[in-house]
Chains A and B, each alone.
Chain A
């Protein structure tokens, strides 16, 4: 089994750019797609990035995803931060033994 490690919390100011990380403990980050979900309080998660870097329709292009094999990590970058981006963000991936693995989540504060 592998784990996905995310920082517990990140803070940034409106208008700035923030990058959230998700580090895979074993196996290559590039071997399986990574998804990113946004979850606001009291709501179900919604997808903001799928297949490492794809945006679902309706998600602003301020959201972008990438992976880096050297750090074995995936990244979610949000530019032009808005107060409405304040939420919890979860990365998720899988392998042949585990159909779903979630990261622990990052609480993004925009202040």
Chain B
């Protein structure tokens, strides 16, 4: 069974960079069918797609965050990562990593999510 696990600091200071890693187990991160992505959810609000990456390194970013977000992948460690720069309190959210099926753009596996709070 595929599993995804987010890791990273739970508290980030304003203006700093948020960094999260997702570790994939129980399946291959280099499968040609799938992409890997990040979705966040501010407290009490809806789902917000941030970015998606293919194992080759091709990336796709949300237009609203493109200037601040970077994704990368490390296939040797079965991990992919998110960096979000110049964070503010508005970036406080539960951050989920997830697998995206490339054939129908469905997120079929999700991590449990990790709460990141932006505060001084």
Binding site for B on A (CB under 8 A): 1, 32-33, 35, 37, 39, 44-47, 50-51, 56, 88, 90, 92-94, 98-105
Contact = CB atoms under 8 A, between A and B. Distances in A.
11 contacts: A33-B105, A44-B98, A44-B112, A45-B47, A46-B110, A90-B47, A92-B47, A93-B105, A99-B35, A100-B49, A102-B48
A102 B64 CA distance: 14
Interface size class of chain B, counting residues whose CB lies under 8 Å from the partner chain:
20 to 34
A90 B112 contact: no
Contacts of B104: 33, 35, 50-51
Given A50-B108, A102-B47, 14 more contacts: A33-B106, A35-B106, A39-B47, A45-B107, A45-B110, A50-B106, A92-B106, A93-B105, A94-B105, A99-B35, A99-B100, A100-B39, A100-B100, A100-B107
Given A1-B63, A99-B60, A105-B46, A35 B107 contact: yes
